[in-house]
Amino acid sequence: MAFDYDLFVIGAGSGGVRAARMSAALGARVAIAEERYLGGTCVNVGCVPKKLFVYGAHFSEDFADAAAYGWTHDGAGFDWSTLRDNKTQEIERLNGIYRNLLEEPGVEIIEEHARLRDPHTVEFSSGSVTAEYILIATGSWPVIPEFDGSEHVVSSNEVFYLDKFPDKVVIVGGGYIAVEFAGIFNGLGAETTLLYRGPLFLRGFDMGVREFVHRELVEKGVDIRFNADLKKIEVAGEERIVQLQNGDRIDADLVMCATGRAPLTDDLGLDSAGVKIDSNGAIQVDSAFRSTTSNIFAIGDVIDRHQLTPVAIAEGMCIAYNLFGGESRTLDYANIPTAVFCQPNIGTVGPTEEEARSQYPSIAVYESSFRPMKHTLSGRSERSLMKLLVDESTGRVVAAHMVGADAGEIIQGLSVAITAGATKADFDRTIGIHPTAAEEFVTMRESVR
């Protein structure tokens, strides 16, 4: 059978775009369908605008710290519309770059909702096409739980485009998105409350990191309430009245739910093509990202392995080179570095201390907490945490965790060493760069436990 395309991609986020353009560069006939925006969540309502907001939120502390370094100013004010609109302008620029990345190798872009009619046919409002291979890369979508008044909350999608900056914000959730936006709103000047139903946020991260970040956020003025169950939200004019199960009431101008993201598989025609999904909606795939239908593949958030942009990109590379480059690539999900852009930042690679103790017979923990040099003059109480986990049987460093300024930048370099199998002796004989915070990772000599 002759097909219209060698590969049809549904979803033009980071993973889908990488798979499409690399496949086209390898000589394949490729089309991609996207109904919302080129670049997906990361570029439009995720990593990129969030990081820009984090930069903006940090200036409140920078202005305050400047006085200790001899700088004076007449006072600084914050204009929400300037940050919001400059962010949007940058996103539009990136949308254009993604379009060029697709068009240059010859990928056809179809800006419509696409769904499967059968294993080889994709249909949309203006027609249908056939493809030998189909890749689903539709990503994920924020999940807002059902409760009385849930229609009065916003998700991370809407928060980037608020008409008015709120004076008082309630954020519901305990994952990295909730923690990051608590820092953003607090830094931009809003009275910020974070509600989480569990005993401690950032589940899945190292316990020491979680506890350290909690202390730092409280020190910065975020009102954090754990074991807080939301009962309902009422509206009085423009005010949101948040009622908790324990009877507490919080008044807010804005309530944001950051309570997780689910794979976006609605109305894709998966049943028509024999593609099976898990109970959480994630498409079932094997180690080569092949679904239960042999010519249909899936990558990124829609398979719900690691909801991280670089992971989706790496998966997209596997698709392109396996289908059209004659390779048999798989992806090793061990030692994937991660950053959380709360304030201060988290950077981590490798297992948590709790996980490492169950994986290795004997773990040595090297840990240091200190006040960064910058704040010896500013007087700010913010501290940093650095932690190495070492397998004592081999001497290999199996994990590094950090909370502090530029943690993501520092951990990225350490992840190379850990992936390469560096030992604690390798770290010890590495000369530090002085004075930096990062040198602490090569000067910790005695384990703490």
Amino acid at 54: V
Across the chain, what does the average pLDDT equal?
A: 97
Q: What is the pLDDT of residue 74?
A: 81
pLDDT digits (tens, 9 = 90+) for 152-200: 999 999 999 999 999 999 999 999 999 999 999 999 999 999 999 999 9
Strand partners, 296: 134
* pLDDT value for 14: 96
What is the distance between the alpha carbons of residues 116 and 314, in angstroms, rounded to a whole number? 25
pLDDT per residue as tens digits for the range 207-235: 999 999 999 999 999 999 999 999 999 99
Contacts of 81 (CB under 8 A, 6+ apart): none
**Percentages (nearest 5) of helix, strand, coil residues in the chain:** 35, 25, 40
The owner of tokens 């994920």 is 140
> Which CATH number applies to 150-259?
3.50.50.60
**Which residues are CB-contacts of 433 (< 8 A; sequence separation ≥ 6)?**
439
Residues 6 or more apart in contact with residue 289 via CB below 8 angstroms: 297, 298, 299, 303, 315, 318, 319
Residue 407 to residue 180: CA distance in whole angstroms: 14
> In this predicted model, what pLDDT tens digit does every residue of 249-267 receive, in sequence order?
999 999 999 999 999 999 9
Q: Is the pLDDT of residue 1 over 90?
A: no
Quote the percentage of the chain above a pLDDT of 90. Answer: 98
The single residue of 113, 214, 306, 434 carrying the catalytic annotation is: 434
Is the Cα torsion angle 118, 123, 128, 131 positive or negative in sign? negative
Nearest 5°: phi and psi at 310?
-60, -30
Segment 407-412 long-range contacts (CB within 8 Å, at least 24 positions apart):
407/339, 407/344, 407/345, 407/346, 407/347, 408/337, 408/339, 408/341, 408/345, 408/346, 408/347, 409/347, 410/347, 410/437, 410/438, 410/441, 411/337, 411/339, 411/347, 411/348, 411/349, 412/337, 412/347
Reference 28, options 233, 268, 326, 261; nearest CA is 326
Fold: same for 5-142+262-324 and 338-442? no
Residue boundaries of the structural domains of the chain: 5-142+262-324, 150-259, 338-442
- Name which of 448, 423, 427 is nearest 439 in CA terms: 427
CATH number for domain 5-142+262-324, candidates 3.40.50.2000, 2.60.120.460, 3.40.50.2300, 3.50.50.60: 3.50.50.60
pLDDT for 73 equals 85
Contacts of 10 (CB under 8 A, 6+ apart): 16, 32, 33, 114, 122, 134, 135, 136, 137, 138, 268
108 pairs with which residues across the strands?
31
The 10s digit of each residue's pLDDT in 285-315 is: 999 999 999 999 999 999 999 999 999 999 9
Q: What is the pLDDT of residue 75?
A: 78
pLDDT digits (tens, 9 = 90+) for 380-411: 999 999 999 999 999 999 999 999 999 999 99
Assign 249 to helix, strand or coil: strand
Tell me the residue ranges of DSSP E strands in 92-144: 108-110, 115-118, 121-124, 127-136, 140-142
The pTM for the full model equals: 0.96
434 in active site: yes
Alpha-carbon dihedral 115, 118, 119, 123, rounded to 10 degrees: -30
Q: Which residues contact 75 (CB under 8 A, 6 or more apart)?
A: none
**Domain at 338-442, CATH homologous superfamily:** FAD/NAD-linked reductase, C-terminal dimerisation domain (3.30.390.30)
Token couple for 268: 């894709």
